[in-house]
Structure 1
Amino acid sequence: MTQRRELKRYAKQAMSGKYGTLILAFVVVQALALISSMLSSALFPGEETLDLVLGYAFTFILTLLINVISAGLNYMYLNIARGKAYSLNDLIYFYKHHPDRVIVATFFLAVINLLTMLPYTIYGNMNTPAEGASLETQITWMYTSIFLMLVGMIVYQILSIPLEMTYYILADKPELKGTDALKESIEMMQGNFGRYLMLKISFIPLMFLSVFTFYIALLWVLPYMIMTETMFYRDLTGELTAQKQEEERNAQEFVNPMFGGTFGENQQNQQQFWSVTGDSSVASDENKEVQNNAASENTQDSLYGSVENNRTTQDNPYDSSESKEVQDSLQSQTTPEEEEDNEPKPWDEYFNSLK
């Protein structure tokens, strides 16, 4: 289980140098959503019940089609997170690969969104202040509409969390049906609901700070949030854990290249290395002792030999000239005798008086 801080760090690493494409793709999807809303209002401008129903039906259909492009956006983020090739053509990936799967999955998400925003929609259209209404009435209607809208958005986000991984699953499994992808997303999010909710809440401060930049910072914050959610999906599949282990193994090999392999293998190799070096050091110490003993024996033998030679030369003083030369060389190696001191000593007078 990867912590939020690490997920965001991996997201920043993946987005490095790719902000232009990510922002452009995000702007394209949001622009399509805005155009669909404006087109619906232009085609059905009336406030009658029929116009409202037809307008919402038209918007619902456009939402299904635009969400296919939104799924392609998630596909592009997944390619970037994995270090694969990517381009703006990824936005229409699902239009080329069984778009019906995405439309089926999007249908359930759109129904949830419609139901959660229904109170806001009904109140906003049925209780619109008439012309000439008091300022207090208009403020009350505005605050109530904003409150219902925020409540509907929060409820939708909470209810849709178990289904958030659907588009990623469809991208990884082209043969999977839309309903099966929804079920697999629910199973994948079991036990991870709170962790994913806290991940989304952690981006609220950045969204609040974007107010001071006239919401321009959202062009960076929202892609950053989507990339972090992509890393969350990779963490659920175990792909991010495998990537971290690979990075640790590469770092270990870089720091200690003489011990290749995994961390456990490195430890075994190090133990074998130090055991071998330890044995060799012991053997070298033993060899040194043997050499020292041999050297001491050789020196003793040489000393004994020199002493015996001295004795032989002393016993035979009239040997050949070679023995005399040997004797002279030995005498030169010995310490010179002290010279006789012929100076008179004080006690010599005492001995002379006794004589």
Structure 2
Amino acid sequence: MNEKKKTSAALKRLAREALIGRYGVMAGASALMIALNVLSTFIPEWVFPEYSIFSQVGQFIISLVIALLVSLFSAGFSRLALEVSHGQRPLFGNMLYPFYHHPDRFLMMYLVLVVIQLILQIPITICSQIYARTYLSQTMTLEEALTYLSFVLMCSGISTLIYVIITLRFVMASFLLLDYDDIGGIQALKESSRMMKGHKARYFYVTISFFGVMLLAVLTCGIGLLWVMPYMETTIAYFYRDLKGDVQ
């Protein structure tokens, strides 16, 4: 536990070297992840286009089901990154690995994170409704609309920050489930929390160090993400292995 861990630059260098000759499959997997996330945004409204309580409930249920499916593919993407970090040729078919290796473990882990997110959203929803009923008139002026929007954005920002702080300890859970078939979702979250003790700031630094290339990728209309996503995920795979003391 006291052995010196690798720097962000060292982990990224290892990822770049490991990805040489393996970008084709990883880029294809990245394209699939992008497509799934885009579809997950639009499908609920396509199925329930009307604005009603029934439609909102339906949209929430469909969004949750799709999010659970996408989470399994996301774990599959992590599986490919682990293969790359071990010097193996990633197999595109392993995007489905979580689907036939006790998917309930991955789903349980993700549901816990969803519950945390929903709990954090409750105060925002209540505060937004109270604010709207108390301060906004029926004919909302531009100034009132901007003030309300600022209030909602501020609350959302605070909620997101708290969520990130709480869930940073759980970021290794997917890798643990991929590595060990005999542990459950809750156990993986607990083990991830133990592994990340003293390393959360380092992980956060590693992820934000990709901000520049992510911005450039967005400026290329997302095409650059086909390169950045494998680079980032493989770096995180090396981070996980480094925590285990599995990287030379």
1:18 to 19, 22, 31: 22
- Does the 8 Å CA contact 1:81/1:230 hold for their aligned counterparts? yes
- Does the 8 Å CA contact 2:30/2:225 hold for their aligned counterparts? no
Structure 2 equivalent of residue 100 of structure 1: 104
2:196 to 189, 213, 234: 189
Instruction: Say which one has the larger Rg.
Output: 1
**Residue 116 to residue 227, structure 1, CA distance change in 2 (3 Å):** farther
1:151-300 map, 5 Å: 151-240=158-247, 244=248
Name the count of aligned residue pairs.
Answer: 239
Moved more, 88-97 or 154-163: 154-163
**Cα distance between partner residues in 1 of 2:217 and 2:149:** 23
Code of the residue aligned with 1:83 in structure 2: it is G
**Cα distance between partner residues in 2 of 1:167 and 1:52:** 30
**Cα distance between partner residues in 2 of 1:100 and 1:200:** 28
In the superposition, the TM-score normalised over structure 1's length comes to 0.60
Query: How far did residue 44 of structure 1 move?
Result: 2.4
- Does the 8 Å CA contact 1:105/1:179 hold for their aligned counterparts? yes
Code of the residue aligned with 1:218 in structure 2: it is L
- Does the 8 Å CA contact 2:40/2:63 hold for their aligned counterparts? yes
Query: How far did residue 173 of structure 1 move?
Result: 0.6
Query: How far did residue 77 of structure 1 move?
Result: 0.7
Give % identity. Answer: 32
Query: How far did residue 120 of structure 1 move?
Result: 6.2
Higher relative contact order (CA 8 A, sep 6+): 2
RMSD over aligned CA atoms reads 2.8
Query: How far did residue 103 of structure 1 move?
Result: 0.9
**Residue 117 to residue 17, structure 1, CA distance change in 2 (3 Å):** farther
- Does the 8 Å CA contact 1:40/1:55 hold for their aligned counterparts? yes
Q: Aligned with 2:6: secondary structure? A: coil
Structure 2 equivalent of residue 90 of structure 1: 94
1:74-89 map, 5 Å: 74-89=78-93
**Cα distance between partner residues in 2 of 1:103 and 1:170:** 11
**Residue 131 to residue 229, structure 1, CA distance change in 2 (3 Å):** farther
Q: Determine whether 1:29 maps to 2:33.
A: yes
**Cα distance between partner residues in 2 of 1:25 and 1:120:** 35
- Does the 8 Å CA contact 2:22/2:89 hold for their aligned counterparts? no
Structure 1 equivalent of residue 116 of structure 2: 112
1:64-91 CA distance string (max 9 Å, x none)? 1221111111111101110123221111
In structure 2, the gaps of 5 or more residues are none
**Residue 60 to residue 212, structure 1, CA distance change in 2 (3 Å):** closer
**Cα distance between partner residues in 1 of 2:122 and 2:21:** 41
Code of the residue aligned with 1:98 in structure 2: it is H
